[in-house]
């Protein structure tokens, strides 16, 4: 088991593999960034900003080698991918932003619609709806080369590309503290899926770019404490989001923790 400081906050988690609608994007798409990847899913050492997004997105031969995310998360996601590659963890597919996605079997926006979730190696890390007996990808699609009949459902047999607590820790340390594979959530397991809380997603996407960058840096410094605070695990109104009160709240959380340790 992951040590207590690496336990994943699951309050408000939205597990997903979702259907698309034609609704307006829930975020400012001008803040989307394209991270280029090579054929081995190593990060290409340069940023590709909005000017090149349309070119890359229209070229279907390159679509598997790009990752669209929010500017605020770009460095964190790059760190994750670079650490995974450094550990010789194979990446077969990875996705982040998916406009208009809804949670599975639901009507609310998924965290992918906020560019605030990452899915990796969907075949090796399936979504499982235990109550409805549903597996995504399908069992047929998950069959590995050796026709192993457990279809990656037996998580005790670790094969290349399967997410374990070792990889989950890397996501956690880079801000994506909620993992769909850490426990059963309302009958679902989503081994491929990592995200921030809905509150964090709304804060980061609602604040102006520079303010969001300041907040995210502070969040990364104190994520262990922040994810335990009820305010950051609720559905908040974007209209009430302001940087200074949020930073003050975090300072208060840290101060309370410090005072407890002094006693």
Q: Tell me the average pLDDT across 73-100.
A: 91
Question: Quick one: pLDDT at residue 120?
Answer: 94
Rounded CA separation 227/215 (Å):
14
pTM: 0.81
83: enclosing H helix or E strand: helix 74-86
The span from the CA of 126 to the CA of 153, in Å, is 8
pLDDT for the residue numbered 149: 62
SS3 at position 89: coil
> Does pLDDT of 23 surpass 90?
no
Is residue 50 within 8 A of residue 21, CB to CB? The reply is no
Q: Is residue 193 pLDDT above 70, yes or no?
A: yes
């Amino acid at each position: 088991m992951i040590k207590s400081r690496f336990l994943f906050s699951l309050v408000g988690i939205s597990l997903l593999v979702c259907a698309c609608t034609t609704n307006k994007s829930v975020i400012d798409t001008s803040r989307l960034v394209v991270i280029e990847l090579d054929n081995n899913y190593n990060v290409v050492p340069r940023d590709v900003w909005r000017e090149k997004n349309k070119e890359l997105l229209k070229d279907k031969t390159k679509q598997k080698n790009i990752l669209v995310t929010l500017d605020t998360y770009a460095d964190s996601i790059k760190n994750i991918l670079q650490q995974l590659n450094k550990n010789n963890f194979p990446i077969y597919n990875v996705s982040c932003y998916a406009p208009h996605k809804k949670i599975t079997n639901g009507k609310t926006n998924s965290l992918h619609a906020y560019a605030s979730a990452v899915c990796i190696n969907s075949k090796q890390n399936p979504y499982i709806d235990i109550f409805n007996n549903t597996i995504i990808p399908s069992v047929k699609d998950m069959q590995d080369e050796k026709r192993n009949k457990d279809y990656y459902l037996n998580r005790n047999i670790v094969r290349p590309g399967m997410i374990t607590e070792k990889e989950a820790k890397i996501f956690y340390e880079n801000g994506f503290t909620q993992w769909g594979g850490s426990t059963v959530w309302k009958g679902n397991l989503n081994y491929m899926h990592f995200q921030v809380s809905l509150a964090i997603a709304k804060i980061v996407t609602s604040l102006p770019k520079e303010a969001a960058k300041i907040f995210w840096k502070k969040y990364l410094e104190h994520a262990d404490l922040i994810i335990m605070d009820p305010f950051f695990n609720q559905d908040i109104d974007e209209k009430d989001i302001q940087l200074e009160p949020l930073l003050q709240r975090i300072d208060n959380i840290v101060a309370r923790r410090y005072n407890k340790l002094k006693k």
